[in-house]
Structure 1
Amino acid sequence: MEHLKTPIRLGSHQLAHRIVMAPMTRARAAQPGNIPTALNATYYAQRASAALIISEATQISPQGQGYSFTPGLHSDDQVDGWRLVTKAVHDEGGLIFAQLWHVGRMSHASFHGGYPPVGPSALDSGARIWISQGGVGTMVPTTTPRSLTTDEIAAITEDYRIAAANAIRAGFDGVEIHAANGYLIDQFLRTTSNVRTDEYGGSVENRVRFGAEVVRAVVSTIGAEKVGIRISPQIKARNMGCPEIEDTVLSLVDTVEEIGIAYVHLAEADWDDAPVISTDFRVRLRQRFSGCLIVAGGYTPASANEILADGHADLVAFGRPFIANPDYPERIDSQAPLADFDATTLYGGNEQGYTDYPPLRPVPAVGRVGQAATA
């Protein structure tokens, strides 16, 4: 695993190796208020041996929420809660970026006082989301969104900027802008979710405009070296199968290259029969972006080492292996056996299936472990 073990520079940070912890929704923020707790701090501190932790997706505003018990970065209480997390990670020698999230149409009216969520256009995703109903988590269809006005788009861009500032105030080392997986920025990029006829729709330049404005707003506030962006051109679920998406995403990459952000994070589909990222796209992406490239999507240590050796990535993010193996980098290095995670405890609940997976060497709990809401 020589390539995985090689140090690398990311923005202003020197990383000891190339193993990143991918963002994973775990739905354990305290209620009311979607506030991180000491329980979340323990979870992330246990995994601080990652070269970089990218936090679970974190909504930039109440309007940006689409799943129950997910944390935010738009209130003082949330900032205070995240301070527990970032301090715990830093105390263990780790590095952590906050993933900034607006789900757009991937939401439900119950999060918005009975009103529909928002999107670039009034087109339904045909998807299902996880929400708590009567104390029980269940998957429900999304609500058809209403189309955003141009003034509202500008207000959401400002929400991203404020959330980025809040992330730094909370002690994060940087932020990742979530422009992947069928969420709001991705919705603007695709002809299948964006049929606007104004300056935010139609041409590639117009569909890229919102994402570019968000990146510029965030960079103007916290600096380009503290910013990354996540993209997912091959993921077509949620009625997102746009035939123009590769060229559109690469146009956005051209913009972030000009701005000079720290990294681009390529999310790849990781299920059976999923579309495969072509070598041609990987080459074009590498040619267009000179910063660090992170890839994620069902990689094993061997396949991760191979893509690093091929030069198609600089770091590899792992998701599920970090759930049941909090010290995953050490296990790779020592070839220790890997534990399996309990799929029934992925979303919601308390420490079970969250902080109770034993590492090879225990990490102390952070303060008094908080309890996530069950309401």
Structure 2
Amino acid sequence: MTPPQPLKDTNLFKPIKVGSVTLQNRLAFAPTTRFRNTKDFIPTNLIKKHYEDRAENNGGLLITEATFVSPQAGLYAHAPLIHTKQQVEAWKQIVDAVHAKGTFIAMQLWHLGRAANASVLKEYGGLSYLAPTAKYYDESRKIIADKAGLELREFTLPEVKQIIEDFKNGAIKAIKVAGFDFVELHAAHMYTLAQFIDIASNERTDEYGGSIENRTKLVLDVVDALIDAVGADKVGIRISPYTTYQGGSGAESTLMHPIAQYAYLYSELEKRGREGKRLAFIHSVEPRVAVGIDVQDAPEYSTEWVRQIWKGVLIRTGSYLHQEGYKNLIRDVNIDDRTLIGASRYYTSNPDLADRLKDGLELTPYDRNTFYFGGNYGYNTFGKFGEDAKGKDSVEANLEAVALS
């Protein structure tokens, strides 16, 4: 394999204004859920070091792991919340550490819907297991729910309205208290907001179901609430039109094509932009991946329609670093003057990813087996270029996750 080519002369390493800040490059650390928080969903010392290391000599944009906006947003063990005072204060320490390195950071706001784990909801204190329509996306989720004695049910209309309030409150805490530069609304990968959009998971007959406009209403209601609460220039949104993950329709669906389902959303966001409420960015997931896994022999779907509709800053994520010579990355980042490139898996194993891409240095392969491991090994044990990774038996590899306070 030929050595990677330096990308220092591409648009990837030109400054760009995003919202109210100017990034020094157009590389984004895409969200990577890694479950290193405490049992009380508080960020830890390990998480602080992880983001701090990736902020060093960077100047671009880091996007946090998906973070629950409330307990009822759905819970996974050792994932983060931004709800209690201690959780918010812990996140503020991380934001301050990233800012001290001259890099910017966004928090991804999360709501699970039917993707939640019923047993964790039950254990936390009798939370409800909710979805746009009471329809499990696969048998495994039904088995977990049956075992927990917590049946999936449909959001009532007041509970739908509470989703909007939870996202708004999470955004206020992230921006106005913890000091994040942006929040990224998670409307991708068939979590709650995407479940409302997708005809495969939404069979409602009220104002949030039926037509494309109605199925898109919740995400737009949330967007509008966040614009009012923290300002459009502080808000981004992640969308994955082609996903089949967790029951998404995908491009081969006989129900509705992704362009039909999602062009309306992009156009409504563009409409807000033309009216003076342009979001900081849209983060669009390419069809080459499905939540961190390359789609084998994926057809080449053109996503040019996204760029044609949305005229603001666009983050594009999807296997860009897996192609020899970074052909797609170079093409897409140079196609205009408003595109950022997101990376996730290789950011796990290359804390100095920005430097390596800039100078054409080899990338350290990631280890998928350590992605969701509870300790520090495979998390903060990868070195910068020329440094050896720390082994399982090293002291650093076995550091405990301790809540930030």
Structure 1 residue corresponding to 2:24, chosen from 10, 16, 22 = 16
CA contact (8 A) 1:20 1:50 kept: no
Deviation at 1:42, TM superposition (A): 0.5
Equivalent residue number for residue 316 of structure 2 = 295
Sequence identity, in percent? 34
Structure with higher helix content: 2
- After superposing on structure 2, the runs of 4+ consecutive aligned residues of structure 1 that deviate more than 4 Å are 274-277
CA contact (8 A) 2:69 2:110 kept: yes
Are 1:349 and 2:374 matched, yes or no?
yes
Are 1:248 and 2:261 matched, yes or no?
yes
Q: Specify the code of the residue in structure 1 equivalent to 2:160.
A: I
Q: 1:100-179 residue pairs with structure 2 within 5 A? A: 100-113=109-122, 117-126=129-138, 145-168=152-175, 169-179=177-187
Q: Specify the code of the residue in structure 1 equivalent to 2:133.
A: S
Q: 1:1-375 residue pairs with structure 2 within 5 A? A: 1=7, 2-31=10-39, 33-48=40-55, 49=58, 51-113=60-122, 117-126=129-138, 145-168=152-175, 169-241=177-249, 243-257=256-270, 258=272, 259-268=277-286, 269-270=288-289, 271-273=294-296, 275-276=298-299, 278-279=301-302, 281-282=303-304, 284-300=305-321, 301-311=326-336, 314-360=339-385, 371=401
Q: 1:193 to 1:277 in 2, by over 3 A?
A: farther
Q: Specify the code of the residue in structure 1 equivalent to 2:46.
A: L
Deviation at 1:312, TM superposition (A): 9.7
**TM-score (normalizing by structure 1):** 0.88
Q: Any unmatched runs of 5+ in structure 1?
A: 134-139, 363-368
CA contact (8 A) 1:188 1:200 kept: yes
SS at match of 2:43: coil
SS at match of 1:14: strand
Distance 2:133 2:108 in 1: 24
Q: Any unmatched runs of 5+ in structure 2?
A: 1-6, 250-254, 388-398
| Coordinate RMSD, CA, aligned | 2.4
Whose Rg is larger? 2
Residue deviations 1:175-196 (CA, integer Å, cap 9, x gap): 0000000100000001100000
Distance 1:154 1:322 in 2: 36
Residue deviations 1:128-184 (CA, integer Å, cap 9, x gap): 68xxx9xxxxxx99x862100110011110000000001011121110000000100
SS at match of 2:246: coil
Query: When the two structures are aligned, how many residues end up with a matched partner?
Result: 354
Deviation at 1:78, TM superposition (A): 0.7
CA contact (8 A) 2:72 2:128 kept: no
Q: 1:3 to 1:127 in 2, by over 3 A?
A: farther
**TM-score (normalizing by structure 2):** 0.82
CA contact (8 A) 1:234 1:277 kept: no
Distance 2:386 2:140 in 1: 39
SS at match of 1:238: helix
